Amino acid sequence: MNYPSAMQAVLRLDESAYPAIMAENRTVWYCVVNISVFGILHALFSLYFSSSMMAGSPAAEPLPPASRVTIILVGVAVAFFMHAGAAMFLWVFSRGVGGNTSFFPVYFNLGISFIGLWPLAPVLAAIQSGINGTAVLLLLFLASIYALAVILLGTKNASGLSMIRMSTAMAITIVFVGCFLYLWL
């Protein structure tokens, strides 16, 4: 299963794509590509929206190319840290409801599922740069629901849980992270 057909299957919510990717020893490669592309997309859209927001300001100067590259590299690094943290939480809470005790299947399937987050990258960058409105919030809601569905099936496959138990683990993860962010902010 080559990359385009594998990712089409993942985006179609075909759970059988994950074992096929693993059988061909492409799990790590697809995981790294999907996380990297998400980080690059978010960084590029952040650069775009921040420059468009600063366009009318007299103090706005274009960023030098080295700074743009640095922002993109930091975006990729943040995507990998976000992935690792999310994998840890999903692994812990899926184990808590009876899932597989191995960490790396959850880690890699979550990374492969990051392709479902790609449509979310421009919306998040827009919101972070101060762009808001009904259309942006609707896009955020729809892209988030779709991304959660892709991630749910990927981690469900890795943890070996039923849909109800994996949904429970994901809901606990979302509530825990939401509470943590609320307390932090």
| Collapsed DSSP state (helix, strand, coil) of residue 161 | coil
Taking residues 159-166, what's their average pLDDT?
Answer: 93
Find the largest Cα–Cα distance for the chain: 58
Query: How do residues 57-83 score in pLDDT, each as one tens digit?
Result: 555 567 778 888 999 999 999 999 999
First to last CA, the chain: 43
How far apart CA 133 and CA 96 sit, in angstroms, is 39
What are 174's two structure tokens? 């979302």
Confidence of residue 55 (pLDDT cuts 50, 70, 90): low
Q: Pull the structure tokens for residue 27.
A: 């799990």
| Residue 102, pLDDT above cutoff 60 | yes
Residue 109: CB atoms within 10 Å: 29
Tell me if the pTM is above 0.75: yes
**CB of 42 closer than 8 Å to CB of 121:** yes
CB distance 100 to 159 below 8 Å: yes
Beta strands in the chain (DSSP E): none
How many residues make up the chain in this entry? 185
pLDDT more than 70, % of the chain: 94
Contact of 176 with 89, CB cutoff 8 Å: yes
* φ/ψ of residue 123, rounded to 5: -70, -45
The domain ranges of the chain are 3-184
